[in-house]
Structure 1
Amino acid sequence: MRATARKTRWGWSQSIVMLIATIGIVVLIYPTAASWFSAWSHDTDVDGYVQSVEQIPDEAVDEMLAAAEEYNENLPTGPLRDPYALGADGQQTAIGEGASAYFDTLAAEGTDTMARIRIPRIQVDLPVFHGTDEETLSRGIGHLYGSSLPVGGAGTHSVLTGHNGFVQATLFDDIDELVEGDVIVVSALGEDLYYEVDQTKTVLPDDAEDLRQVAGKDYLTLVTCTPTGVNTHRLLVRAERIDAPTEDSSVVTIADTTDPAGFPWWALLVAGVPVLTFIVVMPRRKSRNRSGRRATHLSADSDS
């Protein structure tokens, strides 16, 4: 009975040790694992978007781009709202009137991605979606409703928003590292638009003056909250349209292919800890069992 009780206690102890070790490792690598899954999801969205666009006939692409340009021409020139603003109920304000036309423009069949943004300096390659609600911003970059659609043109100003310091993903975490002259590429329906950073500003959430359209200018502005985790202000990184690079240009052409998320080495760690714990603990258990049996035999021999 005592031997059975000891075995039971030892079995529970072994299980608890393995469980605690596994939980500890999972907690430690969660940010890395979450970021990997997010990067994999972003790659999937971007690849799906590229493939969907490739299936669209050239004539249809021209019509979709023309519709987006017409949409931009009809945009009002009033102030834009803060993409992270909440209503009295604590929820983000819905787009409301005009939502249908907005979501239907730049909508390629088979994907809900509207564009793609690449920033070589900080290794960003992310999908862009319509709107800036929380669900959208948890998936990637959101296009601010009311700003110009990202198809370029004189008098347009497209605003793209993204989180930073987001545990589940790396989005606009490093745009504060961008400086004047850095290049940003936005691709919509296969058209690559090159922009060069010309201004970085930190403003209050209700100050949207720098997001207005400017006659004759083709602007793109990236928006994120700052400081990270405090979010009392907004960081605006503005870029102005430049010509696409040529062979003699100092601007490097951006490749259309995506870089895969890479092998999740952290998964080996998660799987390896329980196995390692089992390997270390089991010999001790067997050693104790042998010692117990030896002591029993010695006791029996002495009694005889």
Structure 2
Amino acid sequence: MPTGHKVRKIGLAAARAFVERRTGIVLDVMVPEYFELRHIPGAVQACVHEVVFCDAVAALAPDRTAPVLVYGAGAGSLDGRMAAEKLLRQGHADVRWFAGGLEAWCDAGLPLEGSAPHARPDAHPPVVMPDGAYALDAATSAIRWTGRNDNGAHTGTVDCAGGSLIFSRGHGTGNLRIDMRTIHDQDITDDALRPVLEAHLASDDFFFTALFPQAALEDMALTPLPSATATTPNYRLTGLFTLRSVHRKLALNVAVRRSGDADGLSLSGHCDLDRTRWGVLYGSARFFRHLGYHRVDDAISLDFRLVYTPARGR
């Protein structure tokens, strides 16, 4: 619960004195793998990004009157400050935030502990896409759609049919095919009503899947975004999107990441498409009057994560 105490922001000299005199608990709040590499001597660790952070600190520092020195990565990183504020809200009476963090401690040449105390790993290693050809893994890729009207929204999925990517010197090219016959609703729980909506979407009112069974993104190009961070889109995607045999240019920012096994890639993002640009006019007030409850928003939202594996034979 909130207390009347405030976080005490301290500098390097005060932090060094705290550590050397063993004044209280020194708490490293970074991720455990980084703590294992290097940390301030005598420090204990509880990752502030974990949902069990407060429970972990309670086990490490059960006496909430004991002084606690909290440190994180250093300047420009909010981990230490966020942890200190959490401890105050948990009732700790004496919380000191070493704002310079591990960075200032290292820059001063002070002692360190850990398996690689002199290592200086990049905080956010750049995502470099290796040259090579990749094939879409349709089974693990996902496209979710959202359509809206005056009464709310419907959400569902549509399956990928195939696709490929080729990376060379950090730039990508490729294509994507979508099986429009697999449009499924996921929000309607009534087993009798759900097929009605799905048939409506498949009909000539919307996507006319009997005549146009696939949508496609051709001439896809991926260009790196120089200002990207590790948690923001890092590529600009452009291409020619075909739906109902109508071709329109498409451009959006996407996140391209290495997959967990380090051999594959994922491409994820969000976009809002004006369906009327592709001739899907049903319920649009731009093309019909006196629609009543048949009004449907022009924008369709797509959220997607496309998974790619190395192409065989490459």
TM class by shorter chain equals: under 0.3
For normalisation by structure 1, the TM-score amounts to: 0.23
For normalisation by structure 2, the TM-score amounts to: 0.22
Q: Radius of gyration: which is bigger?
A: 1
Structure that is richer in helix per residue? 1
Which of the pair has the greater relative contact order for Cα pairs under 8 Å at 6+ separation?
A: 1
Structure that is richer in strand per residue? 2
